[in-house]
Structure 1
């Protein structure tokens, strides 16, 4: 897409002059520094001042100033990834998501000046994608343009004005009977992982990282990978009878520091992220669960994208605790009850709330 110097709403105004406060006043953007300066409420005075400033700040032969005053979305995105992203210490998965969605933004409007991107531009882009993808693009765009505002590249954030789409959960929830059937079809190490996930409500990456040395004083200590920056991510899980039974089952004749471990069928070529030859990577848990699920035949009629994954064990565990009248929020490591409810939604069973009118 070729760059456009002004959007239609601002075309009648001189370069670098923009309406502010809903059109009640005007502001001038310095063509070199990118900073905005208030120009009052008089349209005539603002236009006259802007023309004079443009003459002083952008002489016809000053091409560098013109370029500096027209930072494109692609240039700003690169600056963001080079300067802002490293400071935030994103997880690898989050960083990858940003890179993927930024590529989509760049393909659609990379050569457009950051100041000229409109709400309509972004809305039209988001309409082309599924709700989940559109929401990820919107999340990244909101962040990018928020930083653009702080850099003085524009006065508002057009991404914030777009609508967040409602994501309909495609995957089927897992029932206890289905879980039991899939578990019997799984190898012992995968059964251990499944039970640890069901009882502790931890994600696959946290289950894969559980070590015997983290069990002390009757507790299993877990630092959740996704939330380790927050208080909700540091858990000391009491080892009750059910969890103790699984832990004892994990203590087999194979010397391994990890609760979930296995003897590789062949030499592991990719040892990235592994510190022991018996270690099980998170994606191996997903693969083993999917193989047992498909072997069971329980979901043969369901499309591939709707079949439950290892992650659904967490949702089943939350449901089971709720059925017993317990609050799973702290154990799940969720910062809000709403987040926990998202995992509990979608089950067919009705949970009756016992009340008294007396």
Structure 2
């Protein structure tokens, strides 16, 4: 059964079939803005959920669309987010993390927050050009830019498109402070830029680690770096002089929360100086993607997991209020906070120093007149 989007025909896998190797979502969950929604109905012969149904469909390939951004710096004033500016080189993310809070953003493109989010990607090929233009504006006030916060700036397609690398080159040239949150070892490719910036207090990195269990990681985040590779990335950054921390995200009750202390211990030993955590968030369509994943991988505990999530979210699947959306509330959330605080103190974690925005030098924009005279 197939559906249609403004980006062309797409094949729809029906929920309930099976997990798809190398993908986090199992179906094309409908976006909240779609006017027409396709649903499968079994004809009584069990054909809809036949075990060999996925074998009849070609493998899910990753499709990347190049796009030209009109603006590139996004701004926010959220009190529970530690940055006010961000740049996202890509839309969608091939890592396929089933829990990704950014999945619902694909609904704005008339695409599914399920499988489309990790297979229909967009590369902003003019991001560096737009970044240079916006930094050069007379009224621009420098403050740390987080590079790749909605989706990972170092996801697999960065190897080919190098949009993140180009943006980082602009920031390095302008001595502009930048921070990263990533779960990719690809960030170490850019140590030739990151290390000199670190020496000027212009960069910091947080590596996201959800679990130390390779089997669980392959289900939760199928195309992201393995847990041991992320720890190695922390060590490599630390040894290169780049300030690095660990972000345990998300903490999932009865799925990954038991790894909290072990992650903090392993990351500290690898060189992480700072640490944080974020509770699982389920905005909009992500609720459906997550429930489907739970039923496929942990059907025996799915009801218990959702019960604990609702206990931490005021009786709902998600509570978007500032102050509670990242940490939750109630006894179980308080227990996670206490466990984190105890290990944070025990291992002598500390906040990374603020980055230096005072070194900023506005970029020089190309001048047609200067080019005419060779200036």
TM-score, length-scaled by structure 1: 0.25
**Structure number, greater radius of gyration:** 1
Question: Where is the strand percentage greater, Structure 1 or Structure 2?
Answer: 2
Larger % of helix: which? 1
Q: What TM-score, normalized to structure 2? A: 0.24
RCO higher in 1 or 2 (8 Å CA, sep ≥ 6)?
2
